[in-house]
Copies of this chain bind each other. A is one copy, B any other.
Amino acid sequence: MFFKTKYPYRLLTPGPVPLHPEVQQVLAEPMIHHRTPEFERCLRSVCERLKDTFSTQEPVFIHASTGTGAMESAIVNTLSPGDKVLCIISGKFGERWAQMCKIFGIEVVAHNVEWGHAVKSEDISRILRAQPDIKAVFTQACETSTATVHPIRELSTLVRERSDTILIVDGITAVGAMELDMDQWGIDVVIGGSQKAFMLPTGLSFIAVSHKARRFIERSRLPKFYFDLKLEQKAMAKGETHFSTVVPLIRALDVSLNFLTGEAKKRTLSRIEKLAAATRAAAPALGLSVYSKAPSPSVTALVVPEGIDSQKLRDHIEEKYNMTLMGGQDQLKGKILRIGHLGYITNDDMFALFDILYQSLHDFEYGGLKKSGREEAQAILKKHLAK
Q: A202-B244, A225-B103, A226-B65 are in contact. Are A16 and B31 (CB under 8 A)?
A: yes
Q: Do the beta carbons of A27 and B27 come within 8 Å of each other? A: yes
Q: Indicate the member of A30, A105, A245, A246 with the most B CB atoms within 10 Å.
A: A246
Asked whether A203 and B17 contact (CB < 8 A) given A9-B32, A65-B65, the answer is: no
User: Which residues of B are found within 8 Å of A13, using beta-carbon distances?
Assistant: 33
Task: Please give, as numbers and ranges, the residues of chain B lying within 8 Å of A203 by CB-CB distance.
Answer: 64, 203, 246, 249
* CB pair A224 B103 closer than 8 Å: yes
B11 and A31 contacting across the interface, CB-CB below 8 Å: yes
Selected contact of A18 from candidates B27, B30, B99, B104, CB within 8 Å? B30
Tell me the bound Cα distance from A228 to B103 in angstroms. Answer: 11
A binding-site residues for B, Cβ under 8 Å? 1-2, 9, 11, 13, 15-19, 24-25, 27-34, 36-38, 64-69, 72, 99-100, 103-105, 195, 201-203, 223-227, 243-249, 318, 324, 343
A13-B33, A16-B244 provided; 15 other pairs, C-beta below 8 A? A16-B33, A19-B31, A24-B28, A24-B30, A27-B28, A27-B248, A31-B343, A34-B202, A64-B69, A69-B226, A99-B225, A103-B225, A201-B247, A202-B244, A203-B246
Pull 18 A–B residue pairs with CB atoms less than 8 Å apart, ordered by A. A15-B244, A16-B31, A27-B27, A27-B28, A27-B248, A31-B343, A32-B324, A33-B324, A37-B318, A64-B65, A65-B65, A65-B226, A66-B244, A72-B225, A72-B226, A103-B224, A202-B247, A246-B246
